[in-house]
A and B are shown apart, each in its own frame.
Chain A
Amino acid sequence: MLLEVERLRVELHTRRGSVTAVEDFSLALEQGEAVGLVGESGSGKTVTAHALMGLLPRERAEVTGRAVFDGADLLAMDRAQLRQVQGRQLSIVFQEPMTSLNPTMRIGRQVEDALRVHTGLDAGARRQRALEAMALAGLPEPEGLYRCYPHQLSGGMRQRVMIAAALVLRPRLLIADEPTTALDVTIQAQILDTLRRINRQEGTAILLISHDLGVVRALCGRVVVMRQGVIVEQGRVEDIFHRPQQAYTRQLLEARPSWGKGKEGQGHG
């Protein structure tokens, strides 16, 4: 077992009091498996991802439970121990490709970032590894892009840069938090293809977070449905797609624009 989350609970402290964002969340993920996590906005998907990545500020978020990753509990680690895992064995791709890259830093330098943090490789070796990761993420002509800045790239290309940067050290698990939501539909499909290829070829396990069951279905065998911070349904993606047991899951499915029904304007933005 690569990741075993047990009874994860996240309480966020805001100025207007505390909110329980995630409660009693348990999930097991095998080596090389791709699992989907779906739910509407505010259902706690992203908070769950950030809690697992250790990205929630400790003074504003209380995270309890266990998340055993590769034999060690992520939630029990101190900052220094967590930094050893972040970007090396456990990586994340965020929802916002336009703002998740540093605007004043060259693409190559950003893809190499994890190498600088975790390895003692020299500039030449780092460059080599970065170019490989960029090719793996489906970026055409990595050499040319290496010296570009983020604003020179389209949204889809930037998301591929994010994927390359996340994969540069070949992590065991990649958390992809709505990686295609901000992109055009055609680009979405290409990015999902790339993620699938990475999952199959490299054996990288993927936790794919989306509000769209269709997106999850394109990549994952198993899916977990969340609502208001708790899991309402989970199982094989085909079963849930065709025979949703919960009314909420059916609503999620119906909220997708469907070519056959001739309905418009019901999809998520």
Chain B
Amino acid sequence: MKQILKRLGLLAATLLLVTVLAFVAFSILPGDPTNSILGLNATPEQTAALRERLGLDLPLWQRYLNWLGGLLTGQLGQSYLYEMPVSQLLGSRVAVTATLTAMSFGLIVAISLPLGILAARHAGGWIDRVVSVLGQVTMSIPNFLLGFLLTCLFSLILRWFTVGSFSAAAEQGLGAYLGYLFFPALSIALPRAAMTVKLLRGAILGEMGQDYIRTAYSRGNSKGRVLWRFALRNAMIPVITFLAMTVADVVAGSLVVEQVFAVQGIGQMLVSSINSRDYPVVQAIVALIAVVVVASNFAADALYRVMDPRLRQR
């Protein structure tokens, strides 16, 4: 219990630090939001009035505390550019990106676990070699390029979906919505899945060389039983850590791949908000991503303890 409280405290401190960094970083960036709202021909009086209205005349620390106070009470602030609450602006986009992230992560797990186990089970055989070569190729393609390739193949050649038709697909119902998101999710998932396969295969083979595996064989366990009941659980421990770190990459991947597939998620919003110096929107998105990343690391840590009894007492 004390353990968990300690970790939660650390969690809160991490998040606080991230929000400070996000706030300070965007505040010292050159450029002024009033320029992008009023244009370059605004009079100094107009600019000063707007700065006062947006609260930009306050010192940085006061602005931060105001923002943080709002954050804790669920108020993400007002967008400078759109003059509407950030929460309202981001709501549907967060759902899109969250769906995309969850799908990508699900695909990574669904692809890598069976293939990793299969490759390890038949290490050195033809299945292993095919998986290894495909993995090597997939890993070396960045996800946005993979996105272009998938678009070419599935949209332009096979015509399984129409790139750019995301809003239309979203209106057609859940099936079409998920169907469209499948392709960007795949392009995010494939390189990561390839790495996970490689890691899992190596971890299983590493475990298969351990002394306790020899013990299992000496009791009459078959190779399959040894792999599933003995090696796999121990091999999953490093893989889970890796998957947790992957969550951050998947979110970052979503931001980029959304552009390629013209998906209206927070990625597009983030880029346009940075360009227009719409700080409240940018800060909200950064804080949100930080929460997701920190929370997934926390979850991995908890799972780690469940998997490995040696860590529980410390």
Contact = CB atoms under 8 A, between A and B. Distances in A.
A84 B220 CA distance: 6
A83 interface: yes
Contacts of A87: 218-220
Interface string B228-266: 001001100100000000000000000000000000000
Contacts of A118: 220
Given A104-B234, A149-B309, A151-B310, A99 B220 contact: no
Among A53, A85, A102, A118, the one with the most B-chain Cβ atoms within 10 Å of its Cβ is A102
A104 B308 contact: yes
A164 interface: no
Contacts of B221: 83, 113, 117
Given A103-B234, A103-B310, A104-B309, A113 B216 contact: yes
Interface in B194-219: 210-212, 214-219
A94 B234 contact: no
Contacts of B308: 103-104
A86 interface: yes
Contacts of A230: none
B215 A100 contact: yes
Contacts of B219: 86-87, 91, 113-114, 117, 165
Given A99-B212, A101-B212, A102-B230, A92 B218 contact: yes
A165 to B, nearest CB: 7
B215 A101 contact: yes
Contact of B307 (A53, A104, A113, A162): A104
Contacts of B218: 53, 55, 86-87, 91-92, 94
B234 A83 contact: no
Given A83-B222, A87-B220, A162 B309 contact: no
Contacts of A91: 218-219
Interface in A104-127: 104-105, 113-114, 117-118
Given A55-B218, A87-B220, 19 more contacts: A53-B218, A83-B220, A83-B222, A87-B219, A96-B211, A100-B211, A100-B214, A100-B215, A101-B212, A102-B212, A102-B230, A103-B308, A103-B310, A104-B307, A117-B220, A117-B221, A149-B310, A151-B309, A165-B219
